[in-house]
Amino acid sequence: MYNQNYKVEIPQFPDREVSIAEYGAKSGDLQIETGRHNAEAINRAICEVSEQGGGTVRVPAGIWAVAPLRLLSGVNLHLDSQAMLKFIKSKEDYPLRITSYEGQDCIRTVSPVTAENAENIAITGDGIIDGSGDKWRPVKKFKMTAKQWDALFQISPYVIETKETEIWMPTETILEGNRHNIQGTTEEALAAAAPYYDFYRPVMVSLRYCKKVLLQGATFMNSPAWNIHPYFCEDLTVDSVKIRNPYYAQNGDGIDVESCTNVHIHHSTFETGDDAICMKSGKNAIARRIEGPCSNVYIHDCLVNEGHGGFVIGSEMSRGVKDILVENCTFVGTDVGVRMKSALGRGGVVENITLRNIHMSEIKGEAVILTMSYVLNSLNRNETIAMENEEDIPYFRDLSMENIEVTGCRQFTKIEPLQGRPETIRNVVVNGQKLV
């Protein structure tokens, strides 16, 4: 269980403060050239404040077009009330790179906001970060009204058909990228994929190998793929943020905490197009080569208004997920309330998970589902998972759920261990009743 005696360290900053306007940033113009100009100004401000020992880079009220930004150690990016950083999409500003997404190394574009190997960093204030995800994301027809679907064709005419539905594509390069689906981690693969850059949608806020991170107060919205992705971070605090994506946002997760330790998420609101609050730790045998469970996580007093799952673990959990406490949260209108998912081939162990005082309303499917039969189907790409040895078998164990109150769901609990291996899910207690 989460160590409640541990206090997650919160970054501290010197009194030094600069405004992006002092560095020449201009608001009120959403042209690509202005976005590049503002990104250069803001990145220069971040660099100088970091080199001087840290402080605050302030974004005043206004709508500021911007290209990708990089947070550096010692810097608090503070957005005043009525301030919006609006990320402008262009091929030149979003080069492809090899990064981690959905649990494995793969090709993606650079993220709108990146921090890597940084310490003492923050995004705070009452302003907004808008990733312009509507210019990146495909849209499935069955998630739209007829009027909404027809309106998309005023933007682009590109559609593919799958067995499930028609899928609208914002650009021809996304359409062609989906058809070619170039994968790999080599320079040759990057070069071959480059013409279809916007098929490789980025997470909006990428935090990699960072220590003492604070996200507080701000609204994070309209992400190209996942909204916030902390990866191998330590001492992460998410306090009173608002994370928003439309319900039809493909891969529009709220926060995906991957292989992080000492995490505190509280008093935050989520409206997402996919899973809202999700714990991950890599996928399959290749992920298990690196030690790094997701551990010591405390989540409380959060509201999920919409999403595939309110609180979710997996399906990428191969390095392990353990010692998590979730309490005093409300999930409204999600597809599933609590979902823990894995599959043969993942390996890894999910253990010592406690949920208590969770209130759910109008859940479309199961209030609680634990499944070992999860298979990813994304557009026309299927994932085949196979077992090569015993280490490929995942386990869920020592799961406690107390005072789970549900008003409206299709089914309260559903438990699916691996076929022929009931021990893969064991010691599960929900509302005082031991289920397995």
Per-residue pLDDT at 325 exceeds 80: yes
Of 37, 78, 264, 308, which one is the catalytic site residue? 308
Higher local confidence (pLDDT), 390 or 238: 238
What is the tens place of the pLDDT at every residue in 201-247? 999 999 999 999 999 999 999 999 999 999 999 999 999 999 999 99
Q: Quote the pTM value.
A: 0.96
Per-residue pLDDT at 287 exceeds 50: yes
Instruction: Reply yes or no on domain 17-126+200-434 having CATH 3.40.640.10.
Output: no
Residue 386: its pLDDT value, please? 58
Per-residue pLDDT at 380 exceeds 70: no
Per-residue pLDDT at 281 exceeds 60: yes
Per-residue pLDDT at 381 exceeds 80: no
Per-residue pLDDT at 377 exceeds 70: no
Residue 5: its pLDDT value, please? 85
Structure confidence at residue 387 as a pLDDT band (50, 70, 90): low
Assess whether 229 carries a catalytic annotation.
Answer: no
Instruction: Indicate where the chain has its CATH 2.160.20.10 domain(s).
Output: 17-126+200-434
DSSP states along 47-65: HHHHHTT-EEEEE-SEEEE
Per-residue pLDDT at 378 exceeds 80: no
Assess whether 134 carries a catalytic annotation.
Answer: no
> What is the bridge-based pairing of β-strands 294-300 and 261-266?
parallel
Residue 382: its pLDDT value, please? 46
Residue 373: its pLDDT value, please? 87
75 strand-pairing partners = 55
Integer Cα distance of 408 and 332 in angstroms: 10
Integer Cα distance of 139 and 162 in angstroms: 12
Q: What's the whole-number average pLDDT of the chain?
A: 95
What is the tens place of the pLDDT at every residue in 251-276? 999 999 999 999 999 999 999 999 99
> For residue 252, which phi and psi values (nearest 5 degrees)?
-85, 50
Of 93, 274, 275, 392, which one is the catalytic site residue? 274
Residues 180-205 have a mean pLDDT of: 96
Structure confidence at residue 2 as a pLDDT band (50, 70, 90): confident
Residue 385: its pLDDT value, please? 56
Per-residue pLDDT at 22 exceeds 50: yes
Per-residue pLDDT at 15 exceeds 80: yes
Tokens representing 297 are: 């996580």
Integer Cα distance of 47 and 158 in angstroms: 41
Q: How far is CA 135 from the centre of its chain?
A: 18
Query: In terms of Cα–Cα distance, which of 202, 201, 132, 149 is closest to 173?
Result: 201
